[in-house]
Amino acid sequence: MNISTWLPTLALLVVIFGIKFIADLLEKRPVDTSKLPFIKKLDTITNSEKYFFRFLESLPIVKENYYVFPQLSVSKLVTLPDNLKRNWVLLNKIDRKSVDFVLFDKSTLNPVVAIELDGSSHDSFGRQERDNFVDQVFSTAGVPLIHVRRNDVEYNTEEITKKISTCLNNP
């Protein structure tokens, strides 16, 4: 075997392992926690979501029976059965996904209905795929998920109340 045939491969392996070694060192480097760069995020929900949040809280059916929680992670609302708790493929598919609003029963503090406020971003193919997946997750878990088209002017109280009531009566 000629040295010129395996030398480039050896050099490439040395470079790859060198980069990996340096990356590992940087990752394990202690962090100076006295100077963390975090700042308070002021816009946690959009103006449209704020408007809909206030609308939801004003509905008699909601005001009397439920708390409204905005921007909850899907992983806080659904889980896997014990025999699949370590299925990282499935867990990663819900990781970093959230729903816009969740109604929680005031007496039990259990989630009863999730609500997605669908703006124009939900019209894209990629977002529709994501929405279909999240719909399947919630359906499988037995948590109703309502989609409401974003409307920055006015929401129909009767229509939204009916959607919520329908979900509550057909768990």
pLDDT tens by residue, 136-164: 999 999 999 999 998 878 899 999 999 99
Mean pLDDT value of segment 40-54: 92
Q: Are 53 and 68 in contact (CB under 8 A)?
A: yes
- Let me know: does 90 contact 75? Beta carbons within 8 Å: no
113 close to 168: Cβ distance less than 8 angstroms: yes
> Who contacts 159 (Cβ-Cβ below 8 Å, separation ≥6)?
none
DSSP SS3 for 68: strand
Between 120 and 166, residue with greater pLDDT: 166
Q: Indicate the pLDDT class of residue 25, thresholds 50, 70 and 90.
A: low
Q: Where are the domains of the chain?
A: 3-33, 47-169
Question: CA-CA distance, 8 to 24, in Å (whole number)?
Answer: 24
Q: Give 17's pLDDT tier (boundaries 50, 70, 90).
A: confident
For residue 37, the model assigns a pLDDT of 84
Q: What is the C-alpha to C-alpha distance for residues 84 and 141, in angstroms, rounded to an integer?
A: 14
Q: What is the pTM of this model?
A: 0.76
Range 84-109 average pLDDT:
92
Strand order in the sheet with 145-149: 66-73, 98-105, 111-118, 145-149
**d(Cα 27, Cα 25) in Å, to the nearest integer?**
5
Task: Return the SS3 of 86.
Answer: coil
DSSP-H helix ranges across the chain: 3-27, 47-58, 60-65, 88-94, 125-141, 157-169
